[in-house]
Amino acid sequence: MSIRVRHAVVIGGGIAGLTAAYRLRQALGPEVDITVCEASASVGGKLRTLTMDSGPVDVGAEAFIRRRPEVLSLAGELGLSAELVTPSSVRPVIWADGSAHTLPPGAFMGIPASEASIKGLKGLVSPAAERYAAGEAERPFTWEPGADLSLAELVRERFGEEVVRKSIDPLIAGVYAGDSSTVGVRAAIPELARALDSGAATLTAAVRGAFTPTAGSGPVFATFRNGYQTLLNALARAAGAEVRLSASARVLSRAGQRWRTDVASDADIVILALPGHALAGLLSGHAPAAAAAAGEIRHASSAVVTFSFGDDSVLPEWSGVLVAAGEKLDAKAVTLTSRKWPHQGGRGLLRVSLGRFGDDPPVTAFPDESLVRVARADLRVLTGIDVDPRAATVQRWPDGLPQYEPGHQRRVKAIEEGILQLPGIGVAGGYLHGVGVPACIASADAAVTKAIGDVAG
Ligand SMILES: Cc1cc2nc3c(=O)[nH]c(=O)nc-3n(C[C@H](O)[C@H](O)[C@H](O)COP(=O)(O)OP(=O)(O)OC[C@H]3O[C@@H](n4cnc5c(N)ncnc54)[C@H](O)[C@@H]3O)c2cc1C
């Protein structure tokens, strides 16, 4: 098989785009020109490592899940395995009804997976709610295979409203900056949907069946000792691509057998690795149904305010605080970075995450001083920290997190079917098959395989 590719372009320089550039280089060899066009002034997208008080700190994504193989293998390929670190055993708490509660043990995304996790709801929910949850196994359960419910609809019926607000929503807010009413079971937790489709007798049994922890599998999360910048640098080096910054693509058109953009010379392959909301404009002339589906994906805006206190003595002995729905606070989560990550210990670092899907105006519309003030006020309530930080920094993420709503898989199918009709085009990113960094890497691999397959002759 010979592949006639002279030039490949990647639009979007986030983790999906940089991974795509690297995979293109691996597949096409050293002779092919590869150009990465990034709209902003730096690559990385939602991965951003800043220097604060002379040390690195991630102000976008801060970790990845080890259960999926993609980051671990990519780090291995790039010689970065020794850079990976895992969290301490210190646990987070849930903030509900004005006080801190331990997380129910053995739950997945807050959904009880065993009798022990139902018992662990004690104190977090009212005795009546606890009794209702405990009766889940006794109540008849019907699940229509293929049903596409929101997580709130499913869990409310089986465990009750309080479990939704106090156990599920705090975790969903942490991942999607949304709540369980706008997150679809099928889109966000496909393993759970599969267990339900295959006839689990109760929701507890379905969760247990979908997520049996493997003995000796180690910590759930990991990250890079010096932040995600380590991965970004290594990927950019290995890709050997020309990186064009402040290059925002607005046009994608056909030029004979090749593709033309307004940010690079004509290419045989174009990987579109931009956020879902930016994809629609580029696709509308070629795949209108795919463009319409991409345009339907809604996004949440959020902001991360990071503080450095210089030492850890002010931090409570928690790894973080997840805030239940309905609390009168702007913060949805606090990560006590220096407690959670031993390699960050001693710096008194923490991150306050503000903003939820549907906020009007979005949190990103407010000036830095307001966001720092609000974050400090909520920090006082949640952790008792009332001393001046040594440093504070604000990172806004406008439309930063796609919402995996019911119907999401139908939209993604429409996007991918549209792309199938466009030879040499691939799509990758966190709005397709998972918002996490491992899923973004997997989407880049798939996009490159598809696009190269199209042009291989
Ligand atoms: C605050 C926050 C915390 C998170 N925490 C975690 C975490 O701990 N673990 C985890 O696994 N995931 C986390 N995520 C999710 C994860 O970081 C993202 O889903 C992932 O980084 C998205 O990567 P991407 O390459 O798909 O998109 P992006 O990172 O959005 O990259 C797309 C790039 O395309 C560029 N672009 C846009 N339009 C154009 C255009 N027209 N032309 C050229 N370039 C364009 C953008 O500037 C951007 O750089 C978090 C996300 C956020 C916002």
Distance 273 CA to ligand 1 centre (A): 9
Q: In the listed set 361, 386, 401, which residue is the last one of a domain according to the structure?
A: 401
Distance 48 CA to ligand 1 centre (A): 9
Model ipTM over 0.95: yes
CATH number, domain of 354, equals: 3.90.660.20
Q: Burial, 106: exposed, middle or buried (Cβ in 10 Å; 0-12, 13-18, 19+)?
A: middle
How many Å apart are CA 130 and CA 282, to the nearest integer?
50
Q: Identify the pLDDT of residue 189.
A: 93
**97 belongs to a structural domain:** no
Same domain, 241 and 111: no
Q: Identify the pLDDT of residue 145.
A: 95
**215 belongs to a structural domain:** no
pLDDT at 3 over 70: no
pLDDT at 215 over 90: no
**177 belongs to a structural domain:** yes
pLDDT tens digit sequence for 13-35 = 999 999 999 999 999 999 999 99
320 within ligand 1 shell (Cβ under 6 A): no
In the numeric block, which tokens belong to residue 347?
A: 């710096």
**Reported confidence tier of residue 105, pLDDT bands at 50, 70, 90:** confident
**24 belongs to a structural domain:** yes
Q: Tell me, rounded to whole angstroms, the distance of Cα 168 from its chain centroid.
A: 17
pLDDT tens digit sequence for 113-141 = 888 989 999 999 999 999 999 999 899 99
Distance 301 CA to ligand 1 centre (A): 12
Structural domain range at position 445: 7-42+229-297+405-455
Question: Which atom of ligand 1 is nearest to 440's Cα?
Answer: 26
222 within ligand 1 shell (Cβ under 6 A): no
430 within ligand 1 shell (Cβ under 6 A): yes
Alpha helices in 126-262 (DSSP H): 127-134, 151-159, 161-163, 169-176, 185-188, 190-197, 203-210, 229-239
Same domain, 421 and 286: yes
17 within ligand 1 shell (Cβ under 6 A): yes
**50 belongs to a structural domain:** no
233 within ligand 1 shell (Cβ under 6 A): no
**99 belongs to a structural domain:** no
Taking residues 400-424, what's their average pLDDT? 97
Q: In the listed set 386, 401, 416, which residue is the last one of a domain according to the structure?
A: 401
Q: Whose CA is nearest to atom 6 of ligand 1?
A: 61
**Reported confidence tier of residue 1, pLDDT bands at 50, 70, 90:** very low
Distance 440 CA to ligand 1 centre (A): 9
Is there a contact between 370 and 344 (Cβ–Cβ < 8 Å)? no
9 within ligand 1 shell (Cβ under 6 A): no
Domain count, the chain: 3
Taking residues 240-255, what's their average pLDDT? 97
| Mean of pLDDT over the chain | 95
125 within ligand 1 shell (Cβ under 6 A): no
pLDDT at 51 over 70: yes
405 within ligand 1 shell (Cβ under 6 A): no
Distance 47 CA to ligand 1 centre (A): 7
Give the length of the chain. Answer: 457
Q: Identify the pLDDT of residue 457.
A: 62
Mutate to test the pocket of ligand 1, among 70, 364, 437, 441 (most ligand atoms within 8 A of CB): 437
Q: Identify the pLDDT of residue 456.
A: 86
Q: Identify the pLDDT of residue 218.
A: 85
178 within ligand 1 shell (Cβ under 6 A): no
60 within ligand 1 shell (Cβ under 6 A): yes
Question: Which atom of ligand 1 is nearest to 11's Cα?
Answer: 43
pLDDT at 2 over 60: no
pLDDT at 91 over 60: yes
Taking residues 237-241, what's their average pLDDT? 98
CATH number, domain of 204, equals: 1.10.3110.10
How many Å apart are CA 407 and CA 399, to the nearest integer?
19
CATH number, domain of 431, equals: 3.50.50.60
pLDDT tens digit sequence for 152-203 = 999 999 999 999 999 999 999 989 999 999 999 999 999 999 999 999 999 9
**56 belongs to a structural domain:** no
48 within ligand 1 shell (Cβ under 6 A): no
Same domain, 23 and 78: no
Q: Whose CA is nearest to atom 31 of ligand 1?
A: 14
Same domain, 361 and 289: no
User: How do strand 252-255 and strand 258-261 relate by DSSP bridges?
Assistant: antiparallel
174 within ligand 1 shell (Cβ under 6 A): no
Distance 98 CA to ligand 1 centre (A): 33
**Phi and psi of 454, rounded to 5°?**
-65, -40
How many Å apart are CA 388 and CA 67, to the nearest integer?
38
Which of 160, 106, 103, 107 is CA-nearest to residue 130?
Answer: 160
340 within ligand 1 shell (Cβ under 6 A): no
Same domain, 270 and 306: no
